[in-house]
Amino acid sequence: MARSNHKMIRAKAKRVAIPRDFRTVGQLGKRGRGEVGRSNETGFFSPPEDWHEPQGDTGAGYRVVTQDPGEGFVHVVTEQDIRERLAQLPAWMIQPLEVVQLSRLTRKKLSFPCYGMQWGSALYLYPMDEALVEYFFTPPRPAQVVEAKMYGATWEEEGESEWRLNWTKDAIRDFYLNNVLIHELGHLLDNRNTSYVDRERYAEWFAIEYGYRPTRRESLAAQAAKKVVRRHHSS
């Protein structure tokens, strides 16, 4: 998913995030994620990137390319994290995938920041500010509040017209592996929808169905097992 055009603003070392969906230049909000193509292909602006052209060698095993995240930024998942998470999915879902890239965030890319992106047979995941805090000039939408709670992040009103989204290492890792990565894979597998809205709707559903729900079932099962063990130990 692509983020909107915006200008990254610094205030006492704070980095301002941007909206999830395409919007007009200057609108500020959450660092959105989204699929984009190069502007001459789709009409949308996209960040400068080391694009991986489809090679047609799907099924041979995908590559993971890790770039330096850039000064002040950090990759919140590793190649091993990605491979272990994708290995939990059915093989047919991974078959079309050729490359997953942990991309570098450059000065130019700060104008088009996003959590992740899909183009061709490749998925791109972008780093986070090393403080794991995002700043906003508009209050979060209800859907943003719900999503943050789903993955363990917290919203906080810091002052007049300023809000912050606080992540922990575990929360942002969970979000990237079980939402962003799976969402972008959903775009790659979506051969039916053509409009931006329909493709976003499908990718959001795909991320919930194959990213969020399965991991929560595992978590609940593990919690239940621990309770049983504790009861047995106490008897």
Counting residues of the chain whose pLDDT is more than 70, the rounded percentage is 63
Cα distance between residue 12 and residue 216, in whole Å: 37
Mean residue pLDDT of the chain comes to: 76
Higher confidence at residue 173 or residue 158? Answer: 173
Higher pLDDT, 230 or 2: 230
Q: How confident is the model at residue 132 (pLDDT cuts 50, 70, 90)?
A: very high
pLDDT at residue 190, as a whole number: 96
For residue 168 the two structure tokens come to 């922990």
Distance (Å, rounded) from C-alpha 16 to C-alpha 2? 16
Say how far apart CA 177 and CA 159 lie, in whole Å. Answer: 32
pLDDT at 215: 87
Give the pLDDT score at 224: 45
Give the contacts of 67 (CB within 8 A, at least 6 positions apart): 50, 101, 102, 103, 104
Tens digits of residue pLDDT in 40-58: 344 444 555 666 666 676 5
- Strand locations in the chain, DSSP E? 10-11, 14-15, 63-66, 73-74, 99-102, 116-119, 122-125, 128-129, 133-136, 154-159, 162-166
Please compute the mean of the pLDDT values over residues 68-93 and round it to a whole number: 96
Q: Which two tokens stand for residue 189?
A: 């597998």
**Tokens of residue 142, six digits:** 């209800």
